[in-house]
Structure 1
């Protein structure tokens, strides 16, 4: 088929990436309906979310080397096809095993697409505008990822609240979006030359930059832990702690927390990694403090404002981490190196689900959330201190 220009391909790939991440977050406000349908408790919600993370990590371990060896478009197309298969499973197998399988497939798709899509966007931008830096591509990549994650709960929450078949229609709508994404991807130009050879694991950067690389990966973990708090647990806090049972409201609150991360990427796109990291370090504790205060006082407004602040800070933290890893990565192994960042980051999605679930048994949900906020702030401060003392070259790149 005829191909588009690299500039048009850039937009098409960003839309396809957003479609995959949107589909991955659709179940967020629906878990209470799954619990009612399949008769399982809150512990099983942690299991469902954990199998999603396992799928993501599996996809990330597979995709980096495949995208460098086979090309970008085949891997992205495979990711969208797997996400489409997950939608089919959700529709045709309405039982707990189907939910588990669907979440594994959905996570696998997100893992397959994350690093190759980011690399693809960087390369398309370089081909379309060779005289400009890749900061715009990094912002669009992160915004497509986080924007899709934010739109999924809003879409499913609205449909679950006001449309029929709340456990069917969201996945049919998502399937239509994925088919559109596949059609858009077909005409995007390829940027990688397929190469023979055995796949390799995602490598670390040169040993001289290891401290900056590890700190950036851990920064990604903290950012995704914040995303996991809103993607998995905000509906639970709204329903069980604050007393709000609207599916649309659950989707909206998750969208605010996650969408602010994408919006921060666009609004503060000119911030250098060092300044973005400093801004995130100052803002995230404030946002988490508002979230905790909202839960303890029963204030929905504080909870939402805190979510917006913490989400924006997490978005800045993720972009600072992504930019640093891109700058320290060899060009010919960028997809595999970015996979290492996303593996660490997406592993952080399981931290609030599993950690808060276990801590709630000991300290209650309010105490567990307060402990999560304190530990997150301490971890972020430690990462920032290490990152700002990194090797001279990494320090220069971050300014």
Structure 2
């Protein structure tokens, strides 16, 4: 779920590894227009269908990114409905949620680097296709095994999409605006698409579940249809990687600049704890609202999920031009305060306090993640940027999955209140250590 700060995006957008040079370069100079007959490999003009301009494709990619991320978090208010349909409890909810992490890890680590070699557009189209297949499985196989398979496929699609979309959006913007290499627009749009999509997923699913007659089917069908539209639009978009160059050396999957390992470790630790907090709201938020606060409305659960992810997006956009030290300073305050308030809101049940807590924790998570992904981008060797981001996202998504399973098990052993207090303390300590590590390595 990348969201690179404008300063970091300058480094991303000015690097154009493996891009088609002459023909697409002249097209960019003409305002980002591609020629009629440009082919998927990057645009040297054999006869065929027309492509969208780079500027238009920029928005296609952003819309596809947002929709697929929303599809990943759409089950947030639906987990109680799945519990009732298939007869399982909160621990199975966290396992089903964590299977998205398994799929995403496979996509990020095994496939996320492929766009550096085979092209951005091709990988994004594959990501959307896998996500659509996931929606079909979830509709056609209405049982726990179908849910589990569908969640794995959803994760694979996210793994293919996230790091590739970040790079593709930067590529397309630099092609359509060749004189604006330092612009913060790609970073802002990526943030809005990524976290905005994650925020809208629970809200849209909550609205559908509140009023649709068959909410589990209707939600999957709605997201599947929109992703199918974006699949067509992405297929009409230009490529930004010259995947047909036989002379081009294959980039390393994971390569850091000299002395970059320490920064990568600290930044990955921040992403791990940030995603652990967001994973708690995504997987068990609706369960906690129903069990501890006594509110069964899917719409309320959807609004709560929207607030946590939306606050992360707002925090990133509001502080989009802030220095990394500023991001770390504000994030490391909001993050533990939000988690502490979550514990208070569950021990002294109050929806308003839970919403404030999720907003604070979400904003803190968003700022810490923004700082972390920007630093990872800065220490990656440009030719393997997508591969480095893929490894980074695997670590972040493990944070989203494993801690919430442990939290669910802890609630069965010790109860919800001690478990949430322990969860808050451990994540806050992890955030503090990671932030200190990154600060020591800042220039």
After the TM superposition, which residues 11-30 of structure 1 pair with which residues of structure 2 at under 5 Å, given as runs? 11-30=59-78
Indicate conservation of the 8 Å contact 2:91/2:409, yes or no.
no
Aligned with 2:260: secondary structure? helix
Instruction: Pick the aligned partner of 2:148 from 95, 100, 121.
Output: 100
- State the TM-score, normalized to the length of structure 2: 0.85
Does 1:176 pair with 2:225?
Answer: yes
Task: Work out which of the residue numbers 398, 403, 414 in structure 2 matches 1:347.
Answer: 398
Structure 1 residue aligned with 2:163: 115
Equivalent of residue 363 in structure 1, options 384, 390, 414 = 414
Residue by residue over 1:186-230, the C-alpha shift from the partner in whole angstroms, topping out at 9 and shown as x without a partner, is: 232211111569987741413411111111111111111111011
Measured in 2, the distance between the counterparts of 1:82 and 1:95 equals 20
Partner residue in 2 for 1:226: 277
Matching of residues 1-399 of structure 1 within 5 Å: 1-130=49-178, 131-133=180-182, 135-194=184-243, 202-390=253-441, 395-396=442-443
User: 2: CA distance between counterparts of 1:2 and 1:325?
Assistant: 36
Which consecutive unaligned segments of at least 5 residues does structure 1 have? none
Residue 47 of structure 1 aligns to a residue in which SS? helix
TM-score (norm 1): 0.94
Cα drift, residue 33 of structure 1: 1.2
Q: Secondary structure at the match of 1:167?
A: helix
Report the structure number with the largest CA radius of gyration: 2
Point out 4+ residue stretches in structure 1 off by more than 4 angstroms: 195-201
Once residues 235 and 272 of structure 1 are traced to their aligned partners in structure 2, the CA distance between those partners, rounded to angstroms, is 35
Change (3 A) 1:326 1:129: farther
SS at 1:255 equivalent:
helix
> Does the 8 Å contact 2:113/2:253 carry over to 1?
yes
Partner Cα distance (1:362, 1:227) in 2: 23
Structure 1 window deviating more from structure 2 (376-385 vs 353-362): it is 353-362
Question: Could you say which structure has the higher helix fraction?
Answer: 1
Q: Distance in 2 between matches of 1:142 and 1:36?
A: 35
Q: Note the aligned Cα RMSD (angstroms).
A: 1.7
* Aligned counterparts of 1:232 and 1:155: Cα–Cα separation in 2: 16
What does the per-residue CA deviation read over 1:62-115, in whole Å, with 9 as the maximum and x for residues that have no partner? 233211111000100000010000110111111111111111111110111111
Equivalent position SS for 1:168: helix
